[in-house]
Amino acid sequence: MIVNNFEIIEVRLTKIDSKNQTAHFKILCSDSEDSVYLIVERLDRGMEWAANELMRKLKEEKKKSDPETSGPLGNLSIVNILNDEEVIGQVYKGLIRVDNKVCNLKRIRVASEYMKLFDQVNTLQETLYRKRSSVDEFKP
């Protein structure tokens, strides 16, 4: 049995495609700071569903199997994200903010304002979650 406990350090929204209703995420985890996980998620079922699905896909990516281990629990892999509830909440709120920007894009009728907001949405690189360090927690 393999147990994998880790925390998510950062979740970054790198691209949003309003036409196809998809978002591209980069996720950095505490157990492998050298590797970044790239996950594409659909947004057509709602932002809360997308945040939960993002965690589910990350858990699937992190599952490990050990073919050397025998027995009924040999290939069992447990993935535990220590700060998953906090991450889901922050990602959900961040996706709502981004969705509001995209909705505002549809309402603008002035060409110069539309192009300005369109460029902002097109080149969006927003950090939806960043783990606070222990030094940050003691600041008033």
pLDDT tens digit string along 59-78?
A: 998 887 666 666 666 677 88
CB neighbourhood size of 30 (10 A):
14
Distance CA 116, CA 20 (A): 21
* CA–centroid distance for 18 within its chain: 17
pTM score of the predicted model: 0.81
Pick from 37, 44, 26, 24: nearest CA to 129 = 26
CA atoms within 13 A on the CB side of 119: 6
CB neighbourhood size of 140 (10 A):
2
pLDDT tens digit string along 102-129?
A: 888 888 889 998 898 888 888 888 899 9
Per-chain mean pLDDT for the chain: 85
* Boundaries of every domain in the chain: 2-130
What pLDDT does 138 receive? Answer: 45
